[in-house]
Amino acid sequence: MLAGALLAGAFSPWMAALGPAWPATLLSLAVVVFVAVLRSLGSVPLAAKCGALFGTVWLVSGTGWMFVSLHKFGGLPAWIAGLAVLALCAALSCFMALVAAAWVGWRRGTWLSDGLLLAALWWLAEWIRGCIFTGFPWAASGYALVDSPLAVLAPWIGVYAMGAVWVLMLSWVVLSAPLSRSMMVSVSALLLLVGGLSFIGRQPWHEFTRVHGAPLSVTLLQGNIPQDEKFAQSHLIDQLVWHAQQLVAAKGDLVVAPETAIPLLPAQMPQGYWAELASAFHSGDRAALIGVPLGDFEQGYTNSVVGLSSATKGLPDGFYRYNKHHLVPFGEFIPLGFHWFVQMMNMPLGDFTRGPRAAPSFGVKGQWVAPTICYEDLFGEELAQRFVTAGQPAPTLFANVSNLAWFGDTVAIYQHLQIARMRSLEFQLPTIRATNTGATVVIDHTAKVTAALPTNTRGALVASVQGRVGNTPYAEWAGRFGLWPMVALAALAVLALKRRSRSLAASL
């Protein structure tokens, strides 16, 4: 339980406020405690229970904000919402239970091979959690390393492998204890890795992308609409008027409004509202990206971002369209057999149609802006496909639009910012974020936040962002092959390192 709570703390804004080293420090303490406990166990079933408890505490502590969405805004009774969160986290913790059981059952007793085995199992567990049942990779261990020397590995191997590398180094230290020649070797290797990566991170040849074109001047809107007012008829006019005024009045090259900034389908909009917005951008040299649902109740609807500019005037619909691909279970689509659960909740527009995965980017003054909606930016392997798709230009910056008002004033806002910063590291591209309640920010290609609005306030962030061109190694291999090369590598490592003389199934 202690290890799980420590790991959840690595994704807390309060720890980050103490200094950039604190998230990585808490991750390190969590891994050390976890490995030390597993090392002392001789029972595979007990190891599985410890792994399940570790994973459940980690996820409940790190993603407990889901309760706010289910109870306060979804209308579920508190006890049902609490049980739903606990059940989801407990189910996802099964993968960490398997890690613990497999490691205790298969370890050979040598610090070198046992550390490698644990790291490979850890990577596989986080990967499976990130893809099974559409995936929930929130609070993956590597995100705690976004400000650490290991950040230099992001454009090479991605967030899951970053976490696995750190688990490898720390497990070597723990497993080679007490003080011995082996421990001296493992500690030296750890210090050499951290020092070497710190040096590499300061070298210009580490950058795989380069400056592209002139900087864009951007205006990022943050409406700060409480979730219980967002779809209420009595508050719709205020939202529509404020966003329209801000969009039309914004200066610069690009203005971005959050996810469902206009919370109405086209047929529900006031007469002339959309036409006036479009006409404001169909002439001149300004562009806009606006979060709005498109479609109708009969044919289906999408969670979309609409792009408006003089270049889109001649398109069939008069606008660029990006439809969200990676939909949120229960909130944006209903999994088979769970209609009864969704019917218990008050979720407007809850069954969207999925958009294409490798969608084209939106062109603005020579830059190619790749939109993502809400938690789509958790899935770096999916974003990577946009860099290698034939016939369309690779993105030069990301634009994420989100509405985290669903989760109240919780750590979800900070955690999503942490995730967006990791994507900027993996692809060495800047990210602009326009959100309803926060964090509305500009992130450069090194994951530094260069401009930000205070959370839970209404306003417009005016800033500049420099696009970049080029593909990182991660963009290349993940874009072409997904994460399957890493899956194969981790699986082969497990097969090579596990002790063959002991059957895990028999132990359980």
Quote the DSSP letter at residue 132: G
Q: Which of 324, 332, 382, 498 is catalytic?
A: 324
Burial (CB count <10 Å: 0-12, 13-18, 19+), residue 271:
exposed
Q: Is 276 a catalytic residue?
A: no
How far apart CA 79 and CA 133 sit, in angstroms, is 24
Pair 464, 215: CB distance under 8 Å: yes
Pair 248, 284: CB distance under 8 Å: no
Q: Which of 374, 376, 426, 498 is catalytic?
A: 374
Burial (CB count <10 Å: 0-12, 13-18, 19+), residue 469:
middle
Q: Is 374 a catalytic residue?
A: yes
Q: Where are the beta strands (DSSP E) in 352-470?
A: 362-364, 367-373, 397-402, 431-435, 441-443, 449-452, 459-465, 468-469
In our burial notation (b when 16+ CB lie closer than 10 A, e otherwise), range 340-349 reads ebbeebebeb
* 3-state SS, residue 19: coil
Q: Which of 126, 259, 376, 426 is catalytic?
A: 259
Q: Is 259 a catalytic residue?
A: yes
Strand pairing category for 459-465 and 449-452: unpaired
How far apart CA 228 and CA 73 sit, in angstroms, is 7
**What are the residue numbers of the active site?**
259, 324, 374
